[in-house]
């Protein structure tokens, strides 16, 4: 290599890494008005992390309050606001945008070999909409907050609650359009921006997962937007269609709300599944087992996810027939998730696994998602759910899926692509420690809640009977471990920005297109339009990987 | 490859940096617009679902409310929108042909018809305001007690003729007004009432005018939210057309580059389609009960 | 690429657009007058069915010709069909609850 540049006398290779998307323009304006998907992703990373931190602080208050049976730390009314705001910030401002808007934005064009997303200005607009929605919501929280639960159930939210329902509702409404625009951008980009040779079945599964997610975003989010708008109108005009006193229908609210909000849990998990597919295939150095099945199971989850919303309403007055139908379909939607899990495990079987930090997170995901998914079947059974509904069993279930699934996948993804995003390597040692802490802390926090829920502890109460205290203490102790585990990456990742060693273009020796450009990538992503001649997850020499280098790397890590 | 893209960038007007050529750009924006329309369909879909549920539960209240909307104005507006859709389609046609004059003329006509639609809507809303049919208390015309007019005694609500009595009512607080429940009587005689209606309109087996009024008010709530949201889309559409008018005026569009006209047209036609459904659903259904 | 554009321009031309327009006008007038007939005496809901059938037909003409879907790519077809399919999901699965509220259908 050196010889070639010496002969040609060309000094460009030496200068090449200097200009990348981060140092290409230093003014604030060059960031705020950028159309570069990578910069937008970084700004999302900062904003979403801020919301995650705030949601986490609320979570800390919830766990501290529940340390003792009496409601002593917080008044019950304050407690209502705290858990509501924890839910709203986490669901609408962290879980939904986390992977699509940060990792998806950054990686999707790189993975399909495009210069940018198809609609860069719309992409920037979605960030601004996210900020506006977030600011309105934060303003409402400062003014006094909201206490309806993140679901805004009527008629409480429309008639009885004296908190800032409308302001928060409008914040969420506006924020919804941010995710609609992101989804729209992804769908268009995946359809039209693929590089030559990048056929649909050569797409990384991360892209497939984001395609499915985008479908849900586009087709589901507007429904919750109109529903929240109706709630706001009803509060404002003091009349509306959800008020049972005048013949309105609160169950209709639940239908409309869950039409989006159940598929929304797939918005919250599908991108995570995409990350896990990448990480597991990569660190097993093996083509993913049953690529087509994993790809289509993403689409299947997106479609079937729309058919099961009624399982949130088993005890709220829908007809028994509807309950049976929704219960049955809930069992059906478990199938594609199971397909994915089996295929990930089968991918690891006889793979040459290296236990880097992302892989540790991914393996943690497998176990936690399994527990979260299977307990979902308990709750989807129309008989059993009567006992378990609105208890801590549900709380534990969705935290296993949301935190054990999406948050852990998000961390896996951040660690996996951190070298690409920033050009720096983080401390592998601390990475592994944090992965372990998160896993242990998470289980300690939420596994006792399964038992608590089964014993009958209802959710959303600030106090509980004394005999449940031991398990609650376990849970709070676990939460502190989890909190430390989650704060550690903040420290060592920021540290790596300044003191981390420079990352190679392809530090993991993986075949994806995103690893075939410099770290961090230049503004236009690729020096030349890439032409794809290899299949997805092809770890052989045909895909142009330096096998010798990969072996050397493996020898060092093992 | 990049060199290939660069040559195009210099030759094609309006080619964005992220695309390789115009074909890719056109395909992208049209898929984007359709995805956006899918989003819009679901946005209105939530309201249509609400309409469906309440019409299923209270068909007579909906028929009664619907009978107080004027199908003449509704029908006129339908025709106006269809004409504007035609002129919009022709705008795209002339943009493709590169005929700037007719293109501008068609945009102006489209905007004109769009404005007529909004004007008619305003007439209708005013009418509802004057007759106490806005579902929100205080948002109707406040009618003070008029001593000169003959005092209206409490009538049996099934005897109130439909359409009359509107001019004599007293409404100091601007509340929603509905006196006529003759349709309930009719449906009761013909045994049309649904299970929800048998509970929803009656107190102790007697027709309860207030309970029926509440159900009619639900119809008007849905009417105002749906048509209001539709009108909002029209206003946004007019804004888009204004921008399009400017771009067409300076001669941006021709056979090689007309995608913005095309996708604005898609939006305009979509708004038309929503109205194509709103017209029969809100104005016409249930009309035969009284004719 | 220029071939593509030429193909785009063909569509149905001005006479074609006028015909579609007239169909839409006739549909509007027909739906107006048909709403006064008492079709419910044939079977309950016949009026609603007719009105929606007309509206649906009008919509198809607008989508296929004014919105050029007839000449569009498969992706566009997919987007158009999928959005209505999802709307149908929302209607069907919401209404399967309301339709079966009456006592006797699996209820106590």
The residues, ordered by sequence, that sit 6+ positions from B86 with a Cβ below 8 Å of its Cβ are C17, C18, C20, C21, C66
The residue segments making up the domain with residue A119 are: 37-557
Distance CA(A539)–CA(A512), nearest Å, equals: 10
What pLDDT was estimated at residue A451?
96
Higher pLDDT, B192 or A260: A260
Residue A419, H or E segment: helix A408-422
A3 has a pLDDT exceeding 70: no
B49 touches chain A (CB under 8 A): yes
A449 Rama class: left (phi>0) / alpha (psi -120 to 50) / beta:
alpha
Burial label for A374, CB within 10 Å (0-12, 13-18, 19+), is middle
Alpha helices in chain C (DSSP H): 2-10, 13-34, 46-61, 74-99
Cβ of B35 and A118 within 8 Å?
Answer: no
Number of domains present in the structure of chain B: 1
C3 has a pLDDT exceeding 70: no
Q: What tens-digit pLDDT sequence spans chain B (291 residues)?
A: 333 434 444 456 678 888 888 888 988 999 999 999 999 999 999 999 999 999 999 999 999 999 889 999 999 999 999 999 999 999 999 999 989 999 999 999 999 999 999 999 999 999 999 888 999 888 888 887 666 655 555 566 776 654 444 555 678 888 888 888 888 888 888 888 888 888 889 888 888 888 999 999 999 999 999 999 999 999 999 999 999 999 999 988 988 889 999 999 999 999 999 999 999 999 998 887 776
Q: What is the mean pLDDT of residues A383-409?
A: 94
Structural domain contains residue A269: yes
What pLDDT was estimated at residue B84?
96
Distance CA(A432)–CA(A413), nearest Å, equals: 14
Q: Which residues of B touch C32 (CB under 8 A)?
A: 71, 75, 284
Residue from A36, A186, A188, A218 whose CB has the most chain B CBs within 10 Å, to mutate: A188
Distance CA(B91)–CA(B105), nearest Å, equals: 8
Q: How confident is the model at residue C4 (pLDDT cuts 50, 70, 90)?
A: very low
Cβ of C107 and A320 within 8 Å?
Answer: yes
Among candidate residues A171, A346, A316, A333, the one with its CA nearest the CA of residue A244? A316
Interface confidence (ipTM) of the complex: 0.90
pLDDT tens digits, residue range C47-70?
899 999 999 999 999 999 999 999
What pLDDT was estimated at residue A9?
34
What pLDDT was estimated at residue B174?
84
What pLDDT was estimated at residue B15?
82
Tokens of A521: 């990538």
Among the partner residues C14, C25, C65, nearest to B82 by beta-carbon distance: C25
DSSP letter at A350? T
Q: What is the mean pLDDT of residues A234-245?
A: 87
B49 touches chain C (CB under 8 A): yes
Q: Which of residues 79-98 of C touch A (CB under 8 A)?
A: 82-83, 86, 89-90, 93-94, 96-98
Tell me how close the Cα of B229 comes to any Cα of chain A, in angstroms: 10
Both C43 and C24 in a single domain? yes
Structural domain contains residue A22: no
pLDDT tens digits, residue range A424-451?
999 999 999 999 999 999 999 999 999 9
Among the partner residues C94, C99, C107, nearest to A255 by beta-carbon distance: C94
Q: Which of residues 184-213 of B touch C (CB under 8 A)?
A: 195
What pLDDT was estimated at residue B156?
67
Q: Which residues of A touch B17 (CB under 8 A)?
A: 115-116
Evaluated on CA atoms A228, A229, A231, A236, the torsion sign reads: positive
What pLDDT was estimated at residue B286?
82
Helix (H/G/I), strand (E/B), else coil: A391: strand
Tell me how close the Cα of C8 comes to any Cα of chain A, in angstroms: 19
Structural domain contains residue A10: no
Distance CA(A10)–CA(A1), nearest Å, equals: 12
Helix (H/G/I), strand (E/B), else coil: A518: coil
Q: How many residues does chain B have?
A: 291
Tokens of A117: 């997303």
Structural domain contains residue B156: yes
Structural domain contains residue A391: yes
Cβ of A118 and B135 within 8 Å?
Answer: no
Tokens 């009359």 sit on residue: B164
B138 touches chain A (CB under 8 A): no
Residue of C nearest to A220 (CA): C86
Both C16 and C63 in a single domain? yes
Number of domains present in the structure of chain C: 2
pLDDT tens digits, residue range A466-513?
999 999 999 999 999 999 999 999 999 999 999 999 998 889 889 899
Distance CA(B22)–CA(A321), nearest Å, equals: 53
B31 touches chain A (CB under 8 A): yes
Structural domain contains residue B68: yes
Q: What is the mean pLDDT of residues A269-297?
A: 95
Cβ of B18 and A191 within 8 Å?
Answer: no
Among candidate residues A119, A121, A116, A134, the one with its CA nearest the CA of residue A173? A134
Both C53 and C81 in a single domain? no
pLDDT tens digits, residue range A530-552?
999 888 898 887 667 777 777 77
Tell me how close the Cα of B260 comes to any Cα of chain A, in angstroms: 14
Residue from B24, B82, B282 whose CB has the most chain C CBs within 10 Å, to mutate: B82
Quote the mean pLDDT of chain A: 91
Maximal CA-CA distance, chain A: 86
Number of domains present in the structure of chain A: 1
Distance CA(A141)–CA(A168), nearest Å, equals: 8
Structural domain contains residue B225: yes
Tokens of A554: 């493996």
Residue of C nearest to B288 (CA): C36
Answer for the pair A211, A299: CB distance below 8 angstroms, yes or no. Answer: yes
Evaluated on CA atoms B44, B50, B51, B53, the torsion sign reads: positive
Q: What is the mean pLDDT of residues A261-290?
A: 94
The residue segments making up the domain with residue C94 are: 73-108
Q: Which of residues 217-256 of B touch C (CB under 8 A)?
A: 255-256
Residue A128, H or E segment: helix A120-143
A383 touches chain B (CB under 8 A): no
Residue B124 dihedral angles phi and psi, to the nearest 5°: -65, -45
Label residues A375-412 b or e (16+ Cβ within 10 Å = b). Answer: bbebbbebeebeebbebbbbbbbbbbbbbbbbbbbbbb
A4 has a pLDDT exceeding 70: no
Distance CA(A284)–CA(A393), nearest Å, equals: 34
Residue C6 dihedral angles phi and psi, to the nearest 5°: -60, -40
Cβ of B50 and A230 within 8 Å?
Answer: yes
Q: How confident is the model at residue C81 (pLDDT cuts 50, 70, 90)?
A: very high
For residue A100, give Cα distances in angstroms to A116, A178, A270, A359, A399: 15, 11, 10, 20, 19
DSSP string across chain B: -HHHHHHHHHHSTT--TT-SSHHHHHHHHHHHHHHHHHHHHHHHHHHHHHHHHHHHH-HHHHHHHHHTS-HHHHHHHHHHHHHHHHHHHHHHHHHHHT-HHHHHHHHHHHHHHHHHHHHHHHHHHHHHHHTT--SSTTSS--B---SSSPPPPP--TTTSPSS-SGGG--BTT--------HHHHHHHHHT---HHHHHHSEETTEE-HHHHHHHHHHHHHHHHHHHHHHHHHHHHHHHHHHHHHHHHHTT--BTTB-HHHHHHHHHHHHHHHHHHHHIIIIIITTGGG--
Tell me how close the Cα of A247 comes to any Cα of chain B, in angstroms: 6
What pLDDT was estimated at residue C108?
45
Evaluated on CA atoms C84, B232, B125, B197, the torsion sign reads: positive
A459 touches chain B (CB under 8 A): no
Residue B254 dihedral angles phi and psi, to the nearest 5°: -155, -170
A:C CB pairs within 8 Å: 49
CATH value at residue A450: 1.20.210.10
What pLDDT was estimated at residue A246?
83
Both C65 and C107 in a single domain? no
Structural domain contains residue A333: yes
Chains that touch C (3 or more CB pairs under 8 A): A, B
Q: Which residues of A touch C75 (CB under 8 A)?
A: 191
Q: Which residues of B touch A238 (CB under 8 A)?
A: 136-137
CATH value at residue B126: 1.20.120.80
The residue segments making up the domain with residue B68 are: 42-289
Cβ of B18 and A180 within 8 Å?
Answer: no
Distance CA(B289)–CA(C40), nearest Å, equals: 9
Answer for the pair B174, B142: CB distance below 8 angstroms, yes or no. Answer: yes
Q: What is the mean pLDDT of residues A169-180?
A: 95
Q: What is the mean pLDDT of residues A195-206?
A: 94
Evaluated on CA atoms A452, A454, A459, A463, the torsion sign reads: negative
| Distance from chain centroid for Cα A159 | 33
Cβ of A310 and C89 within 8 Å?
Answer: no
Both C68 and C81 in a single domain? no
Both C106 and C67 in a single domain? no
CA dihedral A468, A474, A478, A480 (to 10 degrees): 90
Answer for the pair A162, A83: CB distance below 8 angstroms, yes or no. Answer: no
Q: What is the mean pLDDT of residues C75-95?
A: 93
């Amino acid at each position: 290599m050196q010889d070639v540049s010496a002969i040609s006398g060309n000094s460009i290779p030496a200068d090449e890494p200097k200009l990348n998307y981060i140092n290409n323009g230093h003014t604030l304006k060059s960031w705020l008005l950028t159309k570069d998907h990578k910069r937008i992703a970084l700004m999302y990373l900062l904003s979403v992390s801020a919301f995650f931190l705030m949601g986490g602080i609320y979570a800390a208050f919830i766990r501290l309050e529940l340390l003792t049976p009496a409601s002593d730390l917080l008044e019950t009314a304050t407690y209502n606001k705290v858990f509501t705001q924890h839910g709203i910030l986490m669901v609408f401002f962290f879980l939904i945008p986390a992977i699509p808007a940060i990792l998806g934005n950054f990686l999707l064009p790189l993975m399909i070999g495009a210069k940018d997303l198809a609609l860069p200005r719309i992409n920037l607009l979605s960030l601004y909409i996210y900020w506006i929605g977030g600011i309105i919501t934060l303003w409402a929280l400062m003014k006094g907050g909201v206490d309806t639960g993140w679901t805004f159930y009527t008629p409480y939210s429309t008639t009885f609650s004296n908190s800032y329902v409308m302001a928060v509702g409008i914040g969420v409404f506006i924020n919804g359009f941010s995710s609609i625009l992101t989804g729209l951008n992804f769908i268009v980009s995946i359809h039209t921006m693929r590089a030559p040779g990048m056929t649909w079945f050569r797409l990384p599964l991360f892209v497939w997962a984001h395609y499915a997610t985008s479908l849900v975003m586009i087709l589901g989010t507007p429904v919750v937007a109109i529903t929240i708008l109706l709630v706001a109108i009803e509060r404002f005009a003091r009349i509306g269609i959800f008020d049972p006193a005048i013949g309105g229908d609160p169950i209709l609210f639940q239908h409309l709300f869950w039409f989006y909000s159940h598929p929304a849990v797939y918005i919250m998990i599908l991108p995570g599944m995409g990350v896990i597919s990448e990480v597991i295939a990569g660190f097993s150095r093996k083509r993913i087992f049953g690529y087509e099945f994993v790809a289509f199971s993403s689409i299947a989850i997106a479609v079937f996810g729309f058919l099961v919303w009624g399982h949130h309403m088993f005890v709220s007055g829908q007809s028994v027939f509807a309950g049976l139908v929704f219960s049955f379909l809930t069992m059906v939607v478990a199938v594609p998730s199971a397909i994915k899990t089996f295929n990930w495990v089968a991918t690891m079987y006889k793979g040459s696994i290296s236990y880097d930090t992302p892989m540790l997170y991914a393996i943690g995901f497998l176990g936690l998602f399994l527990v979260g998914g299977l307990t979902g079947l308990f709750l989807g059974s129309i008989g059993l759910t009567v006992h378990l509904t609105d208890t801590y069993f549900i709380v534990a279930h969705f935290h296993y899926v949301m935190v054990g699934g999406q948050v852990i996948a998000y961390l896996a993804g951040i660690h996996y692509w951190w070298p690409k995003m920033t050009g720096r390597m983080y401390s592998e040692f601390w990475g592994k420690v944090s992965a372990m802490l998160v896993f242990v802390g998470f289980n300690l926090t939420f596994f006792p809640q399964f038992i608590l829920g089964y014993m009958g502890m209802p959710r959303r109460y600030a106090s509980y009977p004394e005999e449940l205290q031991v398990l609650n203490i376990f849970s709070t102790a676990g939460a502190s471990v989890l909190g430390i585990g989650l704060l550690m990456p903040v420290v060592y990742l920021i540290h790596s920005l300044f003191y981390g060693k420079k990352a190679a273009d392809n530090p993991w020796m993986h075949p994806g297109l995103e690893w075939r450009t410099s770290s961090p990538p230049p503004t236009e992503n690729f020096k030349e339009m890439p032409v794809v001649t290899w299949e997805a997850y092809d770890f052989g020499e045909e895909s142009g990987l330096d096998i010798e280098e990969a072996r050397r790397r493996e020898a060092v890590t093992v | 490859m990049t060199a290939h893209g660069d040559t195009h960038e210099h030759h094609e007007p309006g080619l964005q940096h992220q695309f390789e050529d115009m074909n890719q750009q056109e395909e992208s924006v049209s898929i984007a617009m359709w995805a956006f329309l899918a989003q819009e369909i679901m946005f209105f879909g939530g309201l249509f679902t609400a309409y469906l549920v309440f019409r299923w539960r209270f068909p007579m209240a909906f028929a009664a409310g619907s009978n107080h909307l004027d199908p003449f104005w509704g029908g006129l507006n339908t025709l106006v929108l269809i004409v504007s859709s035609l002129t919009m389609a022709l705008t795209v046609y002339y943009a493709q042909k590169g005929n700037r004059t007719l293109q501008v003329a068609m945009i102006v006509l489209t905007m004109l018809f769009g404005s007529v639609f909004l004007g008619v809507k305003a007439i209708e809303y005013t009418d509802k305001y004057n007759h106490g049919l806005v579902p929100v208390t205080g948002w109707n015309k406040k009618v003070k007690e008029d001593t000169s007019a003959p005092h209206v005694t409490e009538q049996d609500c099934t005897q109130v003729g439909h359409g009359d009595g509107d001019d004599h009512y007293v409404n100091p607080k601007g509340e929603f007004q509905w006196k006529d429940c003759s349709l309930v009587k009719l449906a009761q005689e013909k045994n049309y009432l649904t299970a929800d209606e048998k509970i929803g309109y009656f107190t102790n087996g007697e027709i309860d005018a207030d309970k029926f009024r509440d159900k009619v008010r639900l119809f008007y709530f849905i009417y105002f939210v749906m048509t209001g949201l539709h009108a909002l889309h029209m206003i946004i559409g007019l804004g888009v057309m204004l921008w399009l008018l400017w771009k067409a005026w300076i001669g941006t569009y021709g056979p090689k580059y007309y995608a913005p006209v095309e996708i604005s047209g898609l939006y305009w036609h979509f708004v038309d389609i929503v109205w194509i459904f709103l017209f029969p659903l809100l104005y016409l259904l249930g009309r035969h009960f009284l004719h | 690429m220029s071939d593509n554009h030429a193909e785009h321009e063909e569509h149905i031309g001005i006479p074609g657009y006028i015909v579609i327009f007239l169909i839409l006008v006739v549909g509007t007038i027909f739906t107006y007058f048909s709403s006064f007939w008492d079709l419910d005496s044939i079977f309950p809901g016949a009026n609603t069915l007719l009105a929606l059938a007309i509206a649906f037909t009008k919509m198809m003409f607008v989508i296929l010709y004014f919105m050029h879907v007839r000449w569009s790519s498969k992706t566009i077809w997919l987007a158009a069909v999928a959005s209505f399919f999802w709307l149908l999901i929302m209607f069907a699965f919401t209404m399967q609850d309301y339709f079966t509220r009456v006592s006797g259908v699996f209820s106590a």
